[in-house]
Amino acid sequence: MLTRLKISGFKNLVDVDLYFGAFTCIAGANGVGKSNLFDAIQFLSALSDRPLIDAAQSVRDESGKSTDIRSLFHRIGDEYGTEISFEAEMIIQKEGIDDLGQEAKASSTFLRYSLKLCYRESKNLLHSFSTLGLGSLEILEESLVHIKKMDRQGHLPFEPSNSWTDSIFQAQRRTAPFISTETDKDKQQTFIRIHQDSGAGGKRRKGEGTRQRKFLASNLPRTVLSDANATESPTVLLAKLEIQSWQCLQLEPLALRSPDPFLAPTRLNSDGSHLPATLYRLANRYLQDIGELKEEDIYEKIEEVYSQVANSLSELIDDIRAIYVDRDEKRQLLTLQIIDREGTTHPARSLSDGTLRFLALAVLSLDPEARGLICLEEPENGIHPERIPAILHLLQQIATDINQEVNDYNPLRQVIINTHSPAVVQQIPDDSLVIAEPKQVVQNKRRFKVIKFSSLRKTWRASIDLSSIVSKGKLLSYLNPVALDIPSINNNHPTSQNKGVCRVIDRPDMRQLNLFPESPE
């Protein structure tokens, strides 16, 4: 769970310091840079798993492409910055498994990960860490340290319950970092060290010093964190797994509509693929309990899972009676099916885009294996305004409940959405709302725009930074989105053939619904 993120030098994110709770909504106008925050999270996630250049190429630029790594750096005019820095505070799982199936147990579960990268011009077209000779990324600093128990309260301003914190926090006394950076000033070289910790597989004998591995930073093709294993660095491994779990959902209708072969992965992908296989796994996971449970009890539990998804979907569409996954033995396919109240069966390929997106989120909310951070852009797309509260309620259900103990029924899961919709903003809990707006900055006699994040008064974010309170004027576009001073569509237009046409909001019987009606002349 990401609790705080500092970013500087990434696109238009300069000196950003943002806290997150279990559920966060970033609201702002089109083009202000809300998506850049998601790109930064995606970049960090990729860096925990891939080489530096591969991670950079996984992030889109302004044109939607991902070829020039310079597009990741802050730009003023035609000049690009040369450094990007990240600092992420996070809560990790107590236990996990590495790629070789080795178990790991964290010695600390509240950590701060820092990373600073720079751009280097490539002198050699065959440079192993460059892109077609256009340049390369180099690690300047990397560190991973634990946050002390006594400092926990200041780093968790959203005030979770004692049962929630007790179920996730674990800390052994430790003074050394898990990853550290040191500079040899004489040789003008920087080294990254990974320190062995005392988690599972990392125990050391009495009298034996802490083992370390040391790397020359300029030679590293990837972050040290991305190379962690359960044997030497279990806590670092679990931090790596946490960051890897940060995903941006980009639910594609084609992927959501597709059936799955029997041997397909049973986890929902970020594009929405493997929805049938995921739901089938959730519904049939009780079959392994045959012998311990009666057969009728098992089939009752299977139906219960399908009913839960159908009940969630009925909040969006009234005409839903049942949902199930059809298992076609002949074609070896799993197909999602919906039955309406008239008894007609509809396969997933016939459902609307909005229905499929809602269905995917409903399945995700029931999956105890789906953990980590989920970013979602404009969840209201394809949803009727009357049903927006239903999808927001579902998204908040996906996020962990900080008033309850973390377990399989309340997994450590987090949701961040962005939007420009007034209908969404008006339904968001005030503690969960962050407003993104452009800010003019002058540096070295040059003026440029960056993104600023503000919160509402008398919320836990406001108690952290009183200088970042959103003004009432900025909220008016969300509370009363219709601009009344704009002339009616087609009315008084010199080429209009429809004189007298007015907007719906101009009707006398509608004007009384305005929060801030236009004053009479």
DSSP string, 400-423: --TTS--BTTB-SEEEEEEE--HH
Q: Are the beta carbons of 359 and 309 closer than 8 angstroms?
A: yes
Structure tokens, 44? 């960090």
Structure tokens, 334? 């799993």
The per-residue pLDDT for 204 is 47
State pTM to two decimals. 0.88
Q: Are the beta carbons of 448 and 441 closer than 8 angstroms?
A: yes
The per-residue pLDDT for 292 is 59
Q: Residue 44 and residue 321: Cα distance in Å, rounded?
A: 42
The per-residue pLDDT for 455 is 92
The per-residue pLDDT for 502 is 65
Encode the chain (521 residues) as per-residue pLDDT tens digits: 999 999 999 999 999 999 999 999 999 988 888 899 999 999 999 999 999 999 998 887 655 555 578 889 998 888 888 999 999 999 999 999 988 888 999 999 999 999 999 998 865 544 445 544 467 899 999 999 999 877 777 788 888 999 999 999 877 777 789 999 998 877 789 999 998 876 544 444 444 445 678 899 999 999 999 999 888 899 999 999 999 999 999 999 999 999 999 999 999 999 999 999 999 999 988 766 555 556 677 788 889 999 999 998 888 888 889 999 999 999 999 999 999 888 899 999 998 898 999 999 999 999 988 989 999 999 998 888 888 999 999 999 999 999 999 998 899 999 999 999 999 999 999 999 999 998 888 777 788 888 999 999 889 998 887 778 888 778 888 877 765 555 544 555 555 455 556 666 666 765 656 555 554 44
The per-residue pLDDT for 468 is 82
What element of type H or E holds 491? none
Residue 134's alpha-carbon distances to 105, 219, 394, in angstroms, are: 42, 18, 45
